[in-house]
Structure 1
Amino acid sequence: MRSSVSAILSTPTQDPNMSHPDYEMTVHDHGTLLILVKHLGEELSLKNFNRLFERICRINQLRIVDGTGVERCVQARYIKEYPVGNNDWGDFQTHRRLLGLITVSKCKLQIELNEICRLHESLKVKYQSTLFDSRCIIFGVNAPNSPELSTPSNFKSRDIYYASDNDPNPSIEMHLNEFLSSLFWVLDAKRVEKSKEKLDKATLLIAPFEKRNIIGLDMESRANKKRCMGRVTKHLADLNLQTGFLNDALNFYQTAIDTLRSCNDWLWLGGCLEGLCATSLMILQPQNPLTKSNFQRNASLQERHSRFKFRPLSTNAGFVSLDDNAIRSTMPQNLLSIDDIYKNYGEALKHYSKYLNAGVILTEGSLKAARIAVDHHHFIHVHYFLQNVLPVNLTLTDEEKIQRLMKLAELYSEIGFHRKASFFQWLASKRYVSASNPHTSWEQCYQLLLKMLPGHKLSLDPNDYVPGGQFGWPELQRQVVNEIVLAAKRVGNASLATRHCTFLLQTMWWMMDKVERSAYATQLSVLSAQCEGSPVPLILDNGLVIPPANLLNIPQPENFSVQNLKLHLRPHKLVKVKEDFGPFLFTPLKFGSMEKYNIKSNKMEYVWVINEPCEVILELSNPLNFELEVTNILLLTNGAVFESIPFSINLPPETSYQNVVLTGIPKEVGEIEINGYSTHTLGVKSNCRLKNIPNVPETTYNVQVIPSMPCLEAFILDSKNETVSNITLFAGESLDYNLKILNVGSISIDLLEISIESTIEHSLKNSIIKIDTENIKDYLPITPKSEILVGIHLTGALNFLSSNQYPLAELNSLKSSLTISGPSSYPSLPSPKQRNERLSPMTASSFRSGESSLNSNCSRYRSPTDITSLKVIEFNIKIKYAGGEGMAAGYCRIISCVLSLNIFNSVLVTGWDVLQAETGSQFYLVLDVVNVTNQEMELKYATNKSILMEEKESYRIPVPVDRFLIHSLEQVSSGEEGQADMVSQCNKHIAEQVLLRWSVNSYDDLPARWGVAKLYGLTLCPQMLDIVCTSPIYWEINLNEEKIVSECDEKLLSETSQYPVGQQLKLQIWVHNSLMSPLDDVTLELNFYQDYHNGTTNSQLGNRLATTGSTKTHTTRVNKHDRLYHECGVIFFYPGQYKLNLQCQTLKQHIWKLIPPLQLDITAE
């Protein structure tokens, strides 16, 4: 024992602390052979070395059958760097011993080969305490056409030569397998040798920092002997674990634990517990889950898209569960379950924490235990083990601290604690730029900040964000992006800083208040002054692509509206007459091949024309508190060629809804897809796509572009060739105008059609305005810059009847009242009061029937306020024209000329009546007319009959009118519709017969005006109709067998014909029906009376005459061309002049009389 202590103290003093933690070490590495692969020289490129290193690492397992026939698995672990201080801990844990050395180099000259051999030998000396064997792989030596090279005489290692490093010989795998085999057999020999030693005479194994602690200790004490035996037993367990004897290792670890626990050797007890956990896990899970597969993914295959890509958790593949009794019976009794492994690992870490010099062991142990929990998805245990890593006080460089933080971030990310992982990445990024770091690297800081974005639910692609949506932690996210902007700026990449600041304003706009928005906008303008932002991806040196970012909210779009062409330039489809292809067949059956699905289309209903300006109205708001200059606003389109015209605007601070008209010119026929607009503001060019703007409902707008079309202008000219749009007429007045059509385009017009639209009835429209379109085809084609004139005739067709007495609404009820007739389309409107009053034509004061007299001829009109003095009618004259390629494509244009026509009343009829004339062929239409103008008017109402009318004066005039020939009607129905038709025909007859020609003299340099008033819409009761119309019957009368009246021809007795008193006169009367329809319920009545020629008649003649037979007869029907016969006698008692009134009446209140009455002179004998 004392000799072993003397040997320990005689060795040179080394650093007792492990210098570099190995963050990649796993529990399975406890059973591996550690081999260093070193790159020597400068001839071999680092790329080729890394490729060769990956090839060497794939040869990490070797199965060997020992002398007893047992197959053992040899596992190797390759590293590129290994500090000597770590190698000194090989006695504590044998897997930390560097057992093999492989150097890789390339040379062409002998001197280079000598230097490589020297470096290789120096490495052997460096690790001579633990190194078993080495290999020196040299490329470029003994190649064809090259001199033969040889190694120096003092070079004792095994060398392997290859001619080229681009394609090494496959024999390298064979050499490596042989190398692993040699290491294994040497190690196994050490194990056998160690197992044969007596424990009581074994050398004390110590950790590097324990050398100074054993001075002065009694090495012969019982406790120290147990410590020595326990440590040797643990060392033997490590060797058995490395050589594949897992069951033996398990037993040795258990024995060592019992021994070391009894003597309170906490550090080595922790090592035994960790070895026991490693051995148990290797039995339960032989395959290391972290071993990389040789499978390489084809780069051409597309990965599944997701917003944030994280490393998936590993699975429990290959893990043996102890829950099954059958499996547990085959396992060693002292094998730990997964829960026992967590418990023992926790105890081991607790013992490590008792020693300051075991900080690296504690750190590595915590990471290894955490990886076990990660593999089994025990996230609470992962966090429990990892929380012990940071508090460990290690003397590390900033680079090593960064490695430790990145490893923590990686493990937290594997269990889904992405925000926690991002936090450690953020700490690592700060280490790159800390004041204590002599090698400050803002580039590394920037790269780490980018890697931590997914953990904060952030993405570099603005398309992953929903406008106005919240996903994550707003304040934290904004702080992270702001730090990325700062890091990019410190890197010196102004374009990156501008891009990230633009990204910040685009994606986190909704998280900021007004002050913050303005502050970030100002910051962006400062950054873009160094490098202007553009909407193109940025590719970093490491291949990372930074997607484009756009200022969608500066200025903020409120609305985006694609405009149709101006009204007179809009193309319209030419209507084609559809051919008749036969009957339409309908079937309720549904066929799958004929189903049509409604697919929403963004195609506009209107079209644009090539080479003609088009417009899009964009509403913008300035949300910032300073004036915003927006320049070069352009439309973004796809499809047909489109030339967008730039537009610039200065938006005042906090301005809302400012209209911007974006224009462009289509240069190609086809379909244009408008998907957004571009701006240049704050030094950043932005492509604002409609799909990213929440205020716009559509993502694209598709507009069809058609071939070129002609263009014309139209004007209405008066007699002085002046353009007019508002014309004033008096009612009944007529004027002529011209429609000027000018071809202002560069294409001839081959099609020209003119139509008139108005809100009034079609018949009234035709009576007011007429356009001469008969010879319009003679003007075609209209060449460019040429013009034509088309005549327009206007007439002031207004209702001349006063609306005070007969509202227009009542005139519409012709079907329901036989007393009302005439058209209802004249522009006069009744008042609400008039609509509510019941109109009775039979009792109206303006109507007179029978033998009423005219008492006055002139009076002052008393109700001028009831006159509708002005009627305004608008006409839309539409001109449809086409030509050129546009016409061939089936399109035309329509230009409209709006004509406003003001019609003033001239003559107004306030009342009317009909009187019988002296002859049966005429009647008198008595009118009360008013001059409603402000001038003196001359009115001609009949041949050689006129009257001068003062302004606002009312006059009564009799107008002789020929009676309406009722025989002209093909059929007269006795029903309401037939009577209504008769009233309509009578009104039309009166309107054609009665023409009131008025004229107003000129004054104050105004021309004379004249016109014609026609009476439409007179209300006629049945009694009036009997006067207006000729009788439908023919009278035939015989007196004393002598015919005195035949077929309405007057053949009366001469005035000298007398009849004596007391003589019976025999009357024979035939009433002939001349209509084409029967007369129903006909009553014939004879009335004798005396006319005193003073306006007084006497029909009470009972004592002056006597009749024989009835003076009244009735029949139910008189068929067409049939007759009613009646005879009676009369005896006069006194002489005198008597008159006989013969009348025929129906139940429809029609009365037809013999005109004039029959006169009889009775004389005394």
Structure 2
Amino acid sequence: MNTYAFTVPARIKAQVVPQDGLDRAEFATCLSSLQRIAEVRLVDVMPCAGLFNPQAYPQGHVMYDFTTDDQDVSQLFLLDFEPFRKVFNTIGILKWTEELDDGKLSSLHKDLKSQHPSSLGHYSLVFGAPKDYKSAVPNVFAVLSDLANIETVICDVTSSFLGNLSVYVSAYQHVTLRSPGIASGSVANGTVKKRISTSFESQDKIRAHRNKGRRQKLYANFYLLAGNLKSALAEFCESILNLQYAGDYLWLASGLEGLGLCMALLVKLEAPFQLPTEILALLDNVKKTTQSPIVSPRPSFQSANGFPTQPSSAVYSVEVVENLIIKAINKSFAYYRQSLQTPEDYAPQIVLCESNLRYIDYLSSVNVHDSVELICSITSDIFNERFVHLPPTQRYRIYNSMIYVYGRLNMRRKRAFLIRELLELVLKHQLIAEESYDGQLEELLDSVLQIYGIDCQKTPNQIQKKVLVSVFRFCHHIKYHKGVAKYGCFLLRDFHVMLSENEQSHIFGILCQLNQVYPYWDDHLVQNISLYQKDKLIQDELCEAAIVLQNPYLFELEVKNIKVATNGFPVKTQLNLKSKVTGTSNTSVTLKPHALTTVSVFVVPLNHGNMEITGISAVVSNCEERTFEWLEKQPTTAKNPVPEYKPRSLTVPVLYEQPLLSLVDVKLPNRWIMLLEGECKRFDIVMKNASNVEVNQLTTKFLDSTIEPLNQLLQNKNLPPNEVYEIEYYLIKKNRSKF
């Protein structure tokens, strides 16, 4: 449920906890079942003794907020002012087993009470119980496996709770209620506006009005929680008149806010109601001289103000009621702001913020003219100079709620700004240790990137870098691994020029620690591809290729499983282990930081035809294997300063498979011979065809030991021309040997 929904002051907080070692999945299923029936009709609730007997207003509803949160100790000082903040019930969830007898249930229920002593009611729900199961332990209820009786169980819990609530509220009958500022021991900076006593007014009378008005306002809050809207409306109206007379602005503001909610719930139930003329005059800012309302001892409004006890039809239309609600809440905020001038009876910042958020929730759910402009003006009361003094957890919840509201109103820029503030708050105060999120979080973070123009094919700037770093750190902090991989790769791909060596290494180190694979972020790994045999290749024969790989980062990269990528042409690839690339192993190559590295590989075409080399496929570090196209950078222009890249390829013909001969033996002693000039000798040469292709033509050319020394002499550039001529003559003009 929305933490700051407009109906929160009418919802009973019930903490749901697992018992007897219930696992998380089963507990989540049971909690979900409870949350689906969070609203109970009073007509279905058994009568109970006390002030909140459901028969007093059977058409009312009791609404629950089933949550796993415990009582917020930072808000204890507000419980007498806004009682809906209290966790009233604690509900333990158990799974039925045959070993679950009454003795064990009694012990578990006793532990539940001792662990949550501040709750009014403690109840244990046994889920999955058979139809004939019934426990004799008080406040233990069985929920059938098909959940057929779960609504009846919640009705029984509600009946017990309303009885406990009557006892709890009776303790306030003779208590002097203090404002939250006094209860918390803090005093606001402000000027005290003292009332001047006249012959018609005394301080004792004002104090009596104030005490009665505060008690009536508190009782109205309890009636609201108990679903008795008729009594709640009456108490709110009388409390407003008493508090207005006493000049108690803080409690008066809270009463007006409660009145607005009460009217909204009555409209929802289509229940008729009327407001006193004094209340209508107050909402319309009409000053009317009236007698002190304290002279009437009535606990609720009746015939003196012209209220029919049971009106036969609704007095106000829905449009009129919505207007009255807005007037009541606007008047409430006016009094809240006025209370800030008093040092003791002032509105705490958390009360102001949450009241504004509930009002925003109401405005965004109804069709009110200029509601968006009104919401924007309200936010100034939330994010003021006092907001930074709130506890981080409360600021976190407020940010989260406003992000939701701005998203619903399609106010993307404001939403993105608050998301960024939320991320910084979480990182600064380490608010969340570990959470699991669904796809909504990714959409939330992506919206921030979109608003700041990240990944829009434009030159990145420092603001974008700062935002993206915050998003990455947030994902790493909450262990959202999908976001860590996505936004970490984003940073290294587009912002590595702005990142220092430590920042790059830190991001890369976090990526390497992930348990999931992700694609390598740089599309420009391949810079060039060349073949040593450029004219043609032979099917099934080795050809050496040189591949230039780029590492633009300030840390080393390991590239594994390098394979030449083609246009579907079958090839085999293996590393040339004799290459001089530093860090080359049997399966990988190490790319030095911020450098180009030439990798030598052997390519074996497995078919004939035209082979088009388009890039490589490889595994970079811990990334998943992917294909890298050979991209060529296009020249930039003034109109298009962002560089563009187009795919390149290398096409080479591959001939049919050729015979592959190898020299097996030369039938000569020691495989050499010395001949005198003109001498002739016969010997045999043994050759082997290592291929599956027969040899139908053989052209031979023999080399002897005199050729290589003469070639080496020719490489000497200092030889005289006559000697060069002689050597060339012997090599070219003269036959050395005849075969």
TM-score scaled by structure 1? 0.40
Which residue is 1:644 aligned to?
Answer: 573
CA contact (8 A) 1:37 1:79 kept: yes
- Residue 102 (str. 1) matches residue 31 (str. 2): no
CA 244–69 in structure 1, closer or farther in 2 if over 3 Å, else same: closer
Q: 1:962-985 deviations in whole A, cap 9, x for unaligned?
A: xxxxxxxxxxxxxxxxxxxxxxxx
- The answer to whether the 8 Å contact 1:426/1:452 transfers is no
Which of 43, 46, 53 does residue 21 from structure 2 map onto?
Answer: 43
| Distance in structure 1 (CA, Å) of the matches to 2:244 and 2:690 | 107
1:366 shift after superposition: 2.9
Q: Is the 8 A contact 2:210 2:243 kept in 1?
A: yes
**Deviations for 1:186-211, whole angstroms, at most 9, x for unmatched residues?**
879999x99xx9xxx99754446657
Counterpart in the other structure of 2:139: 158
Paired with 1:242 and 1:174, the residues of 2 have a C-alpha distance of 20
Is 2:425 the counterpart of 1:428?
A: yes
CA distance in structure 2 between the aligned counterparts of 1:678 and 1:374, rounded to whole angstroms: 52
Q: Answer whether contact 2:12 2:225 (CA < 8 A) is retained.
A: yes
Equivalent positions of 1:172-321 (< 5 A) are 172-181=150-159, 183=161, 205-207=177-179, 221-235=204-218, 237-239=220-222, 241-242=224-225, 244=227, 246=229, 249-250=232-233, 253-282=236-265
1:39-87 CA distances to partner (integer Å, 9 max, x unpaired)?
44x4222332232122112112233448699733332222332357857
Judging changes above 3 Å, is the alpha-carbon distance between structure 1 residues 175 and 388 closer, same or farther for their aligned structure 2 residues?
Answer: same
* Alignment match, 1:29: 8
Give me the identity figure in percent.
Answer: 17
How many Å separate the matches in 1 of 2:159 and 2:77? 24
Asked whether the equivalents of residues 635 and 674 of structure 1 are also in contact (C-alpha less than 8 Å), the reply is yes
Q: For the residues of structure 2 that align with 1:149 and 1:653, how far apart are their CA atoms?
A: 71
CA deviation after TM superposition for structure 1 residue 268, in Å: 0.6
Give the CA deviation at 1:423: 1.9
1:136 to 124, 129, 132: 124
Matched, 1:470 2:482: no
Q: Which residue of 2 aligns with 1:956?
A: none
Distance 1:229 1:375, change over 3 A: same
Report the alpha carbon displacement of residue 176 of structure 1 after superposing the two structures with TM.
1.3
Contact 2:543–2:603 (8 Å) recurs in 1: yes
Partner Cα distance (1:285, 1:691) in 2: 65
Tell me the equivalent position of 2:65. Answer: 77
Structure 1 residue 263: Cα displacement: 1.9
Q: Partners of 1:692 and 1:682 in 2: how far apart? A: 21
Quick one: distance in 1 between partners of 2:255 and 2:511? Answer: 63
Conserved in 1, the CA contact under 8 Å of 2:547 and 2:600? yes
Residues 220 and 345 from structure 1, CA distance in 2 versus in 1: closer, same or farther, beyond 3 angstroms? closer
SS of residue paired to 1:611? coil
> Which residue of the other structure, out of 664, 667, 675, is the alignment partner of 2:606?
667
1:676 and 2:664 are equivalent in the alignment: no
Give the whole-Å Cα distance in 2 for the aligned partners of 1:208 and 1:280. Answer: 26
Shift, 1:227, TM fit: 1.9
Superposed, which structure 2 residues align to 1:808-847 within 5 Å? none
How far off is 1:101 after superposition?
4.3
Which position in structure 1 is the counterpart of 2:355? 365
Deviation of 1:265 (Å): 0.3
Aligned to 1:689, the other structure's residue is in SS state strand
| Counterpart Cα distance in 2 of 1:624 and 1:479 | 19
Provide closer, same or farther for how the CA distance between residues 653 and 273 of structure 1 changes in structure 2, counting only shifts above 3 A. Answer: closer
- Which is richer in strand? 1
**Which is worse superposed, 610-619 or 362-371?**
610-619
Select the residue among 112, 119, 126 that pairs with 2:111: 119
Q: Note the C-alpha offset of 1:264.
A: 1.4
Q: CA RMSD in A?
A: 6.1
1:53 to 31, 38, 46: 31
Determine the C-alpha separation between the residues in 2 that align with 1:694 and 1:626: 24
RCO comparison, higher one (Cα < 8 Å, 6+): 2
Counterpart of 2:603 in structure 1: which amino acid? G
> Aligned runs of 1:498-537 on 2, under 5 Å?
503-508=490-495, 512=497, 516=498, 519-520=500-501, 524=504
Change in CA separation of 1:349 and 1:120 when aligned onto 2, cut-off 3 Å: same
Q: Alpha-carbon deviations, 1:775-812, whole Å to 9, x = none?
A: xxxxxxx6164679xxxxxxxxxxxxxxxxxxxxxxxx
Partner of 2:564 in structure 1? 635
Q: Residues 202 and 228 of structure 1 are in contact (CA less than 8 Å); yes or no, is this contact kept in structure 2?
A: no
**What per-residue deviation string (whole Å, max 9, x for no partner) do you get for residues 537-556 of structure 1?**
x55xxxxx673233345x67
State the match for 1:783 in structure 2. 696
- Is the Cα–Cα contact under 8 Å of residues 557 and 593 in structure 2 kept in the other structure? yes
3-state DSSP of counterpart to 2:207? helix
Question: Quick one: structure 1 residues 662 and 362, their matched pair in 2 at CA, closer, same or farther if it must change by over 3 Å?
Answer: same
1:35–1:98 contact (8 Å) kept in structure 2: yes
- 1:570-612, CA deviations, whole angstroms, 9 ceiling, x for partnerless residues? xxxxxxxxxxxxxxxxxxxxxxxxxxxxxxxxxxxxxxx6424
Higher deviation after alignment, 638-647 or 273-282: 638-647
Higher percent of residues as helix? 2
Output the CA distance in 2 between the equivalents of 1:184 and 1:640: 79
Distance 1:265 1:483, change over 3 A: closer
Superposition deviation, residue 160 in structure 1: 2.0
Could you tell me how far 1:116 is from its partner in structure 2?
1.7
Cα displacement (A) at 1:27: 1.6
> What secondary structure sits across from 1:137 in the alignment?
strand
- What is the rounded CA distance, in whole Å, between the counterparts of 1:524 and 1:113 in structure 2? 57
Given that 2:83 and 2:221 are in contact with CA atoms closer than 8 Å, whether structure 1 keeps it comes out as yes
Please give the TM-score of this superposition, normalised by the length of structure 2: 0.59
Q: In structure 2, do the counterparts of structure 1 residues 124 and 375 end up closer, same or farther at CA, with 3 Å as the change threshold? A: same
Contact 2:250 2:347 in 1 (8 A): no
Cα separation, partners in 2 of 1:502 and 1:175, compared to 1, 3 Å: closer
Q: Which amino acid aligns with 1:474?
A: N
Structure 2 distance, partners of 1:333, 1:495, is: 50
Quick one: distance in 1 between partners of 2:381 and 2:268?
26
Secondary structure (helix, strand or coil) at the match of 2:252 reads helix
TM superposition shift of 1:709 = 3.7
The change in CA–CA distance for 1:105 and 1:184 in structure 2 (over 3 A counts) is same
1:664 aligned partner, one-letter code: V
2:440 and 2:428 mapped to 1: Cα distance?
A: 11
Q: Secondary structure at the match of 1:136?
A: strand
The letter of the residue matching 2:252 is L
Paired position in structure 1 for 2:712: none
For the 8 Å contact 1:639–1:671, the answer to whether it is kept is: no
Tell me the distance in 1 between the aligned counterparts of 2:58 and 2:211. Answer: 31
| CA shift for structure 1 position 621 | 7.0
Instruction: Give the secondary structure class of the aligned counterpart of 1:548.
Output: coil
Shift of 1:365: 1.6
1:950 corresponds to = none
Q: Secondary structure at the match of 1:27?
A: coil
Q: Of the candidates 517, 521, 528, which is equivalent to residue 550 of structure 1?
A: 521
Equivalent residues of 1:610, 1:668 under 8 A apart? yes
Counterpart-to-counterpart distance in 2, 1:488 and 1:494: 7
Q: Output the CA distance in 1 between the equivalents of 2:13 and 2:511.
A: 54
Mapped contact 1:560–1:617 kept (Cα < 8 A)? yes
Deviation string for 1:812-839 (max 9, x for gaps)? xxxxxxxxxxxxxxxxxxxxxxxxxxxx
| 1:903-1052 equivalences in 2 (<5 Å) | none
CA distance in 2, matches of 1:190, 1:632: 73
Conserved? CA contact 2:42–2:227, under 8 Å = no
CA contact (8 A) 2:350 2:390 kept: no
